[in-house]
Amino acid sequence: MPKDERERQILDKLTAIQDKLLLLKRDRTQYIRSQDVMVLHDQLVEQVRQLNEIRKGEHKGENRLDKVLESCLQLISLFFMTIGRTSEVPAAYALTSTIKRLLDHLTEARLFSAKDLTSISNTLDRLEGILANDEPHHSPYLAELLAHRCARCKSTLAKLREQLDQLDEPVQVVWERLISILRSMSLANTKSKFSTTEVLKLKAKLREIEESMVDGKFLGEDGQELRGSEAVAELLRRCLAWSDIVLERKGVIPDAFKDKYNILINIRNDLEKLSITQAWSLRETDLYDFQRQLDKIDEARVDGNWLDQDGNPAELYVQRTLLYLIRRSYGYIYHLMNSSEPVSEALLPIYNQLQTLKRCLIEVKNSGGVSSVRELYPYSMKLNSIDNMRVDGKFMVGDDIPEGQGSVSELLAECFELNYELRVAAEEAAERREDEESQSSAPQTTAS
């Protein structure tokens, strides 16, 4: 608990805000409204301002207040995503937390690909863009905190990139392939039904790479050892050793760590389903519960490993299996946050219908269009029915005007444009056919 009486008062108010946020998150009877979120956001920002004045930049160790504040900031961030305000500073907070987790794990494992780093780098650039454009509209503390987090993540990212830069391009390609095989093997190891055949096929790919080496080294076209050859050879040895362990254990986890394993398997599977059905089933605030569970298990490690009830560390097989599940789950959360649409959940059903319509119309266009205007009637009727839902040009839910009006209207306009192009093309094709028929029938009439 905080020792300062003023901090204890702030803690009480933050706890009340946290409770309200959790209640709002659990309420499935109605859509989350912007005004409800903004009231709690403003209350939170005021407590942050007061805390900043008390501490004046000095912070002597973390206490209970910091934990509750982190929880509130995380929840508010996910609420901003849920109401469609994805390009504002508060929405970026939760994503930086997940990126930091991912980077910490990549640093710890020393197993990452250039694609991993590129994706995270692009996301951080986007978050910095949000910060630059939106900073004047939000709490300077939140903006400062986000800028600090982005800077720390970029620093870690640069160090990881340095490690890949030490590899010549041909061995970088081998490195990427090994990372892909290793992850596929870890996935096979955590499937509900273990497949020996699948793992043996992956091991055969490792042997192919091993056979391409000369005296245990990767050589260039000039016969010289490539820079980074030793590091990639070491990774290959680790992959082969892991394949042997996986084939021996066949996905069986000791009872002492079975509970943790089952929790992580369920989290991974649930997040995987969400990543497939995201557009129709995800409420971003749901990710909070997954994060809390993962953070709790991740932070329970002692010197990087978990201990059983007797204080004995998990063996290598268990440790790597659990870490894979945690990292995979954080990866799914990162993907789901990154893919959050700039539309309130109240408008998502309409937005998703339009997304589907757009994909269908593009598919029709790419496959040669329609033979008659009549074939476009179902699309036209659906578009008109959605357009007629607008009141004074806005999509209303009750008396509310949910966030994301511009995105939905823009998508609707794109669908109308595609539909119009297809109709014009069909009409022109019909006219051409009529002209051809009339021309072909003209000589016959003369001959008769």
pLDDT in tens, 353-364: 999 999 999 999
Which tokens is 247 given? Answer: 């084939």
Q: Does residue 267 share a domain with residue 208?
A: no
What is the structure's pLDDT at 230? 95
Is 308 among the domain residues? Answer: yes
b/e burial code for range 420-448 (CB count within 10 A of at least 16 → b):
eebbeebeebeeeeeeeeeeeeeeeeeee
Whether 448 shows a pLDDT value over 50: the answer reads no
Domain boundary among 197, 221, 249: 249
Reported as a single tens digit per residue, the pLDDT across 89-131 is 999 999 999 999 999 999 999 899 999 999 999 999 999 999 8
pLDDT (mean) for 73-95: 94
Q: Does residue 264 share a domain with residue 211?
A: no
What is the structure's pLDDT at 399? 84
Is 133 among the domain residues? Answer: no
Classify 300 in phi/psi space as left (phi over 0), alpha (psi -120 to 50) or beta: alpha
Split into its structural domains, the chain has a count of 3
Q: Determine the 3-state secondary structure of 274 from DSSP.
A: helix
**Sign of the C-alpha dihedral computed for residues 85, 87, 92 and 95 taken in this order:** positive
- Residue 419 CA to residue 362 CA, distance in Å, equals 9
Domain boundary among 249, 271, 287: 249
* HSE, side-chain direction, 13 A CA sphere, residue 122: 9
- Residue 195 CA to residue 188 CA, distance in Å, equals 7
Tell me what percent of the residues of the chain surpass a pLDDT of 90: 79
Is 141 among the domain residues? Answer: no
Whether 261 shows a pLDDT value over 60: the answer reads yes
From residue 151, alpha-carbon distances to 59, 96, 121, 144, 210 in Å are 20, 10, 11, 11, 39
Domain boundary among 303, 324, 340: 340
Rounded to two decimals, what is the model's pTM?
A: 0.89
What is the structure's pLDDT at 233? 96
What is the structure's pLDDT at 444? 55
Is 177 among the domain residues? Answer: yes
Is 379 among the domain residues? Answer: yes
- Residue 327 CA to residue 320 CA, distance in Å, equals 10
What is the structure's pLDDT at 54? 87
- Residue 80 CA to residue 76 CA, distance in Å, equals 6
pLDDT (mean) for 347-374: 93
Q: Does residue 328 share a domain with residue 381?
A: no
Q: Does residue 210 share a domain with residue 273?
A: no
What is the structure's pLDDT at 321? 97
Q: Does residue 355 share a domain with residue 433?
A: yes
Q: Does residue 322 share a domain with residue 266?
A: yes
pLDDT (mean) for 365-387: 93
Is 355 among the domain residues? Answer: yes
Residue 407 contacts by C-beta under 8 Å, 6 or more apart in sequence?
84, 341, 342, 343, 351
Enclosing domain of residue 331: 253-340
pLDDT (mean) for 147-165: 95
Is 410 among the domain residues? Answer: yes
Reported as a single tens digit per residue, the pLDDT across 292-315 is 999 999 999 999 999 999 999 999
Q: Does residue 189 share a domain with residue 240?
A: yes
What is the structure's pLDDT at 92? 93
Is 404 among the domain residues? Answer: yes
Residue 220 contacts by C-beta under 8 Å, 6 or more apart in sequence?
168, 170, 226
